[in-house]
Amino acid sequence: MKSWLTTTDHKRIGLLYFWTAFSFFLIGGVEALFIRAQLAQPNGHLVTAETYNQLFTMHGTTMVFLALMPLSASFFNYIVPLQIGARDVAFPRLNAFSYWVFLLGGLFLNASWLVGPLFHAGRLNVAPDGGWFGYANLTERQFSPGPNIDFWLLGLQILGISSLAAGFNFIVTILNLRAPGMKMMRVPVFTWMTLVTQFLVITAFPVITVGLVFLMFDRFFGTHFYVSQSGATPILWQHLFWLFGHPEVYILILPAMGIVSDVLPTFARKPLFGYTVVVYSGVLIGFMGWGVWSHHMFSVGLGPIADSVFSATTMLIAVPTGVKIFNWIATLWGGDIRGTTALHFAVGFIAMFIIGGLSGVTHASPPTDLQQTDTYYVVAHIHYVLFGGTIMGLFAGIYYWWPKMTGRLLSETLGKWHFWLQFVGMNVAFFPMHLIGLLGMPRRVYTYAPELGVSDLNLLSTIGAFLIALSILVFVVNLLRSRTHGQRAGNDPWGGATLEWSIPSPPPVYNFSVIPTVANRLPRWKTEHHEPMRDPPAAPPGPIHVPGGSWWPMLAAFGLPILALAPLTHTLWLAFVGAAVLLAGIFLWAFEPFEV
């Protein structure tokens, strides 16, 4: 127990990220089921309008910040150091800090479901209810007087610190801790996309931090950043949010693209088609992701010039994305394909992401976007890219790397059931939403009238959502079953080309008994020019220094939610306690003897 609480081992932190994020994924999924159950029939009354607002807000917030990002982070932690031939990340204690801040931020946010009585709300749930992009000035105290939005803005501030700390850590890890011979253009694509993602994180998060700080000052200290009577423009929030929000979309999808770029070659037994182009496309997406944010704001009326420019950049960003898709398909072409579950999810990712990408291009045109905005058409699009895209990609990664992380294979039979249930379920759930939206049903409204003519389609969508839930149940059974019944994985169950497969599963605490020297991009495969590398010996030739654990990152992390409680409860002394805990944690951390 103690060894898990104080751990600084990237592999353990990776597993902690996985289980925590997966738990939040289940919570976000249950919220989605409530939403779909409410909408199964017209004039539904399963939940009240207020609770419905909280459900869709928390569903979006949870899935983006507490499920998808940290599930990717689970692989950054576990896999990236293994792929570059490192013994750990550059700053192991900072890594532990990121995890604890993430956990505490997630708990802080979700506590809002249960603490209504403490705020004399007259109900149990006071969860955030302003939508995941929390538009000002709806989120101002005047229009949202309860603690709901406070939980949201303080929770996101906490989570931002976790992401930023991880961002600096992984940038340094990937740039600086590569094994000898692991040049940048030999780095596996997943690690490359992790690097691009982290650059997006450290540049995008400060922007939302500022937006949230303004909101915090407006709500707690009476400033006027988003108060139109004072001459302010609520559009400022939209710019700050989407300046973060659109890079965030790529923060969510690039890791999944990286996973798929590693899974496809393994199971097609072919090098990735156009590695260089795939890498540069990812980098280009990272840059272009900064130039498209106002396509979320066409309905604001920014004028024909702004609309045209952002329309053009949005269509342009489809080009590097399309390039990647053709590269993946070309990788499969003529390959010696093994239809594993991981490959199913990777191919599912390509197919679903194409649909989501195409509906995305339709939003790029302002005239059509004005018809689609705030309707279920947009909900369909976001779920094709984030569920069909990111989740499918993450599941490809789970089936691919789970054996490495636990030493046991997941069942392929249950895996196929999981895949097909999920694949059919997601299309049944989300495809009708395109039609529901085009027929005029607005998003974020808790019910609809039978006269709108979307009742059957909504019922269908709800059935799909429960099919997805069933598929996740199969996956959970598979996960738990693998702990005792899973086949032993050995070093390399798939015949992988990259370094993580050269060591035992799960890897020893020091990862590599001898740090490998890398001579080419696919070190473990025989190619025309290269013999496969020799795997590191089973036992290290000499003693290997492994850093011990530390309590202080966790202590420092606890300071943040305590600090956040101060404004939430209007208690000044809590701010001093929180600051003291944070400072104590940082100083003890800084002066602790700890050799990496």
Among residue numbers 46 through 105, which ones bind another protein (CB under 8 A)?
Answer: 90-91
Report angle CA 561, 216, 142 to the nearest 5 degrees: 125
Rounded to a whole number of angstroms, the minimum distance from the CB of residue 261 to another protein is 22
**Closer of 176 and 276 to another protein (Cβ):** 176
Q: What three-state secondary structure class fits 407? A: coil
Longest dimension (CA), the chain: 76
Which residue, 567, 447, 554, 553, is CA-closest to 152? 567
Q: Is 517 an interacting residue with respect to another protein (CB under 8 A)?
A: no
- CA distance linking residue 393 with residue 91, whole number of Å: 28
Rounded to a whole number of angstroms, the minimum distance from the CB of residue 232 to another protein is 6
Among 107, 138, 213, 316, binds another protein (CB under 8 A): 213
Task: State yes or no: is 502 an active-site residue.
Answer: no
* Total residues at interface with another protein (CB under 8 A): 40
Among 1, 2, 43, 231, binds another protein (CB under 8 A): 231
Rounded to a whole number of angstroms, the minimum distance from the CB of residue 178 to another protein is 4
Catalytic residue among 250, 328, 376, 446: 250
- CA distance linking residue 11 with residue 546, whole number of Å: 13
Rounded to a whole number of angstroms, the minimum distance from the CB of residue 241 to another protein is 11
Task: State yes or no: is 455 an active-site residue.
Answer: no
Q: Give the list of residues 6+ apart from residue 65 with CB closer than 8 angstroms, or none.
A: 106, 109, 156, 159
Rounded to a whole number of angstroms, the minimum distance from the CB of residue 186 to another protein is 12
Among 19, 217, 333, 576, binds another protein (CB under 8 A): 217
Q: Is 573 an interacting residue with respect to another protein (CB under 8 A)?
A: no
Q: Is 587 an interacting residue with respect to another protein (CB under 8 A)?
A: yes
Catalytic residue among 93, 219, 296, 521: 296
Q: Is 118 an interacting residue with respect to another protein (CB under 8 A)?
A: no
Which residue, 523, 453, 563, 572, is CA-closest to 182? 523
Catalytic residue among 20, 74, 197, 321: 321
**Closer of 290 and 551 to another protein (Cβ):** 290
**Closer of 96 and 380 to another protein (Cβ):** 96
Task: State yes or no: is 20 an active-site residue.
Answer: no
Q: Is 293 an interacting residue with respect to another protein (CB under 8 A)?
A: no
Rounded to a whole number of angstroms, the minimum distance from the CB of residue 233 to another protein is 8
Q: Is 301 an interacting residue with respect to another protein (CB under 8 A)?
A: no
Which residue, 350, 361, 359, is CA-closest to 388? 350
Q: Give the list of residues 6+ apart from residue 120 with CB closer than 8 angstroms, or none.
A: none
Q: Is 326 an interacting residue with respect to another protein (CB under 8 A)?
A: no
Among 128, 147, 211, 289, binds another protein (CB under 8 A): 211
**Closer of 576 and 587 to another protein (Cβ):** 587
Among residue numbers 355 through 394, which ones bind another protein (CB under 8 A)?
Answer: none
Q: Residue 459: left (phi > 0), alpha (psi -120 to 50), or beta? A: alpha
Q: Dump the DSSP string for 142-184.
A: TT--SSHHHHHHHHHHHHHHHHHHHHHHHHHHHHH-PPTT--G
* N residues, the chain: 596
**Closer of 68 and 171 to another protein (Cβ):** 171
**Closer of 150 and 218 to another protein (Cβ):** 218
Q: Dump the DSSP string for 203-226.
A: HHHHHHHHHHHHHHHHHHH---TT
- CA distance linking residue 472 with residue 466, whole number of Å: 10
Q: Is 558 an interacting residue with respect to another protein (CB under 8 A)?
A: no
Catalytic residue among 93, 443, 521, 524: 443
Among 33, 115, 236, 588, binds another protein (CB under 8 A): 236
Provide the token pair at 526: 């025989």
Q: Is 223 an interacting residue with respect to another protein (CB under 8 A)?
A: yes
Task: State yes or no: is 321 an active-site residue.
Answer: yes
DSSP 8-state secondary structure symbol assigned to residue 64? I
**Closer of 396 and 556 to another protein (Cβ):** 556
237 contacts 215 by C-beta, under 8 angstroms: yes
Catalytic residue among 10, 93, 178, 295: 295
**Torsion angles phi and psi, residue 408, rounded to 5:** -125, 140
561 upstream amide cis, omega within 30 of 0:
no
Rounded to a whole number of angstroms, the minimum distance from the CB of residue 390 to another protein is 24
**Residue that is written with structure tokens 């569920």 in the block:** 387
**Closer of 222 and 541 to another protein (Cβ):** 222
Task: State yes or no: is 324 an active-site residue.
Answer: yes
501 contacts 492 by C-beta, under 8 angstroms: yes
Task: State yes or no: is 163 an active-site residue.
Answer: yes
Rounded to a whole number of angstroms, the minimum distance from the CB of residue 210 to another protein is 4
C-alpha torsion 524→527→531→535, nearest 10: 0
Task: State yes or no: is 471 an active-site residue.
Answer: no
Catalytic residue among 270, 324, 363, 524: 324
Task: State yes or no: is 295 an active-site residue.
Answer: yes
447 contacts 43 by C-beta, under 8 angstroms: yes
What HEC string does 428-473 produce? HHHHHHHHHHHCCCECCCCCCCHHHCCHHHHHHHHHHHHHHHHHHH
Task: State yes or no: is 492 an active-site residue.
Answer: no
Among residue numbers 151 through 210, which ones bind another protein (CB under 8 A)?
Answer: 164, 167-169, 171-172, 175-178, 182, 202-207, 209-210
Q: Is 466 an interacting residue with respect to another protein (CB under 8 A)?
A: no
Report angle CA 168, 176, 547 to the nearest 5 degrees: 80
Catalytic residue among 8, 51, 162, 266: 162
Task: State yes or no: is 443 an active-site residue.
Answer: yes
Q: Dump the DSSP string for 297-327.
A: GGGG---HHHHHHHHHHHHHHHHHHHHHHHH
Enumerate binding residues for another protein (CB under 8 A). 90-91, 164, 167-169, 171-172, 175-178, 182, 202-207, 209-211, 213-214, 217, 221-225, 230-233, 236, 240, 243, 587, 590, 596
Which residues are designated catalytic?
A: 59, 88, 132, 162-163, 246, 248, 250, 261, 295-296, 321, 324, 443
